[in-house]
């Protein structure tokens, strides 16, 4: 009778490997920086929760998750990027549907171009300039800047989580900062000419 129990134990240990990871703890541990990456990719604060739910579902449903704990962060990064791209694709389809509908219907009386009184505040103006500049950056540059400056991560933390080298982080951040400065200068120049 011991033999069948041992073979049963060996059979279940292979399938138990995929569930050895405590996904709720892993996702909670990586939640903040993954949200930053997703935010940089989708560009909408409201969409981050939706995409993060999809990331959690995709992570739990994976048939071959990483076994090495050091590879979980880069793996989650790839899953988050994939889910963000799928979300953007769905939004694009939805936007086309809405645009087709809007073309058939006349606009309402409300004019979305009405200026917001808060636009006169200096702090809001700066935030808008930075947001506008960030929108013109490549998603890769935006996520590097957001991870560095909103998450306050070190170069090594970024390298570990994205699965790239320390020197690659340095060069990407250098390029991203340079591109952000030029975008801000272009926005500022365009604002002065008005």
pLDDT tens per residue, range 152-172: 999 999 999 999 999 999 999
Residues 40-44 have a mean pLDDT of 85
- When mean pLDDT is compared across 43-47, 96-100, 116-120, the lowest value belongs to 116-120
pLDDT band for position 11 (50/70/90)?
Answer: very low
- Say what the pLDDT of residue 5 is: 39
Q: Which residue has the higher pLDDT, 1 or 149?
A: 149
Ranges for all domains in the chain classified under CATH 1.10.1740: 21-114
In percent, the amount of the chain with pLDDT more than 90 equals 25
Cα–Cα dist 84/141, whole Å: 16
In degrees, rounded to 5, the angle at the alpha carbon of residue 54 between the alpha carbons of residues 52 and 56 is 70
83-112 pLDDT per residue, tens: 999 998 988 888 888 888 777 766 555 555
114 vs 117, 121, 165, CA distance in Å?
9, 16, 47
Calculate Rg over the CA atoms of the chain. Answer: 23
Residue 76 host element (H or E): helix 72-104
In the predicted model, what is the mean pLDDT of residues 24-43?
A: 88
Fold of the domain built from segment(s) 21-114 = Rna Polymerase Sigma Factor; Chain: A (1.10.1740)
3-state secondary structure of 52: helix
Average pLDDT of the residues of the chain: 79
- CB-based contact 76:34 (threshold 8 Å): yes
What integer pLDDT is reported at residue 70 of this predicted model?
84
CATH architecture label of 115-194: Orthogonal Bundle (1.10)
Spacing of C-alpha 176 from chain mean position: 16
CATH 1.10.10.10 positions along the chain are: 115-194
């Amino acid at each position: 009778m011991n033999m069948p129990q041992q073979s049963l134990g060996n059979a279940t240990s292979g399938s138990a490997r995929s569930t050895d990871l405590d996904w709720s703890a892993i996702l909670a541990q990586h939640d903040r920086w993954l949200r930053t990456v997703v935010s940089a990719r989708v560009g909408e604060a409201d969409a981050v929760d939706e995409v993060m739910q999809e990331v959690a579902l995709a992570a739990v449903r994976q048939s071959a998750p990483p076994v090495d704990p050091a590879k979980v962060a880069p793996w989650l990064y790839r899953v988050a990027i994939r889910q963000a791209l799928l979300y953007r694709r769905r939004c694009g389809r939805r936007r086309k549907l809405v645009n087709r509908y809007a073309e058939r219907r006349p606009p309402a009386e409300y004019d979305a171009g009405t200026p917001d009184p808060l636009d006169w505040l200096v702090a809001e103006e700066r935030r808008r300039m930075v947001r506008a500049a960030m929108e013109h950056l490549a998603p890769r540059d935006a996520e590097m800047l957001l991870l560095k400056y909103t998450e306050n991560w070190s170069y090594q933390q970024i390298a570990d989580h994205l699965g790239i080298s320390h020197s690659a982080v340095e060069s990407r951040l250098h390029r991203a900062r340079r591109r952000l400065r030029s975008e801000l200068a272009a926005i500022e120049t365009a604002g002065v000419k008005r």
